[in-house]
Amino acid sequence: MQAHLLSERSSVFVQADPYAVSGYVNQHVGSHCIRLPRSGSPQASLNHSKFASLDLCRISYGGSVRVTSPALETIFHLQVLLKGHCLWRGHRQEHYFAPGELLLINPDDPVDLTYSDDCEKFILKMPASLLESVCQEQRWIHPGQGVRFLENRYQLDELEGFVNLLGMVCQEAEAAESMPRVQEHYAQIIVSKMLSLMKTNVSRAGLGSQSASFERIADYIERNLKQDICSEELARQAQISLRSLYGLFERNAATTPKNYIRQKKLERVQACLSDPTCTVRNVTELAMDYGFLHLGRFSDSYRKQFGELPSDTLKRRH
């Protein structure tokens, strides 16, 4: 691979103890365990640079090292193989990565990688919150459980302009004078580019597109039930008139946007009260969490919808 991804300016370890490098990676890039071969004395090297909310890393362990982790939880990893090969195991399949191939690891994906002796990687660490905020800013829609990459293997040269963008980010990260605002913009561009080029569960049509539909608006409501959503805000985000919004709800839900939102909030409260795994201190706290400030009115609406008081639902689950 010819891509210039981090130089000696970012060097942290050169020909070092792999366990020292692993300890540093645990602190800055992601929790993991390494297993070294019983014989030999592999020498590890690491370049690392912090870039806005991203971490950029270039790593080689110098031996056939197995790297495992149960899951990264709130972190996405993009790994580009620069040299050697790397065996990836996951979801009843395995793949030998060659130079120029890219691996995407979602926050809930377990990690099981075996590096060859000459394996060298570039790793981009991204917080899940950054991907969520880019989607929110662009008004892109994704399921309530969060953003997820649906395919985890790519050829880097098939992703138009992406390798050059990575190179520019690395160059900016190693600049003599760092500019936080510029770094933030670059970080958002990287994530936007990934969400545009790669297969994800994100719908980039958004609420404001020509294809805005009741399903997309309903999904937006579902993901923002704890917010104070009004009809005017929905119409503004969908870029349609208030009258058109009311028509959309009348045709698809036979009710008004306000009634629909209240109904969905009540359904979410009822689901929480019914679920033994859902932490609920009391009905009042849960109701207020979903914007029901008038508790008498809330109890009356709940009883009309579900045929019992919310306190009865809570008692029944114990």
Helices (H), 90-173: 128-138, 162-173
pLDDT, position 193: 94
Q: How far apart are CA 13 and CA 59, in angstroms?
A: 9
Token couple for 23: 């300890």
Q: Over pLDDT 70: what percentage of the chain?
A: 96
Q: What spatial distance separates the first Cα and last Cα of the chain, rounded to whole Å? A: 60
pTM of the entire predicted model = 0.68
What φ, ψ does residue 99 adopt, rounded to 5°?
-55, 135
Q: How far apart are CA 151 and CA 187, in angstroms?
A: 21
β-bridge mates for residue 45, sequence order: 60
pLDDT, position 200: 93
Place of tokens 């036979």: 254
pLDDT, position 208: 56
Place of tokens 């679920």: 275
pLDDT, position 205: 63
Place of tokens 């979410």: 268
Place of tokens 């790994």: 79
Q: How far apart are CA 160 and CA 194, in angstroms?
A: 10
CB-based contacts of 224: which residues, under 8 Å, 6+ apart?
none
Chain segment 147-175, per-residue pLDDT in tens: 999 999 999 989 988 999 999 999 999 99
All structural domains of the chain: 8-197 (2.60.120.10), 214-316 (1.10.10.60)
Q: How far apart are CA 31 and CA 52, in angstroms?
A: 20
What's the rounded mean pLDDT across residues 140-153?
86
Chain segment 39-93, per-residue pLDDT in tens: 888 999 999 999 999 999 999 999 999 999 988 889 999 999 999 999 999 877 8
Q: How far apart are CA 173 and CA 175, in angstroms?
A: 6
CB 87 within 8 A of CB 114: yes
Q: Where are the beta strands (DSSP E) in the chain?
A: 11-16, 33-35, 44-51, 54-60, 66-69, 75-83, 86-90, 93-97, 101-105, 111-115, 120-127, 153-155
Q: What is the DSSP string of 3-56?
A: -----GGGEEEEEE-HHHHHHHHHHHT---EEE--SSS---EEEEEEEETTEEE
Q: In angstroms, what CA-CA distances link 288 with 102, 264, 284? A: 45, 15, 6
Reply yes or no on whether the pLDDT at 206 is more than 70: no
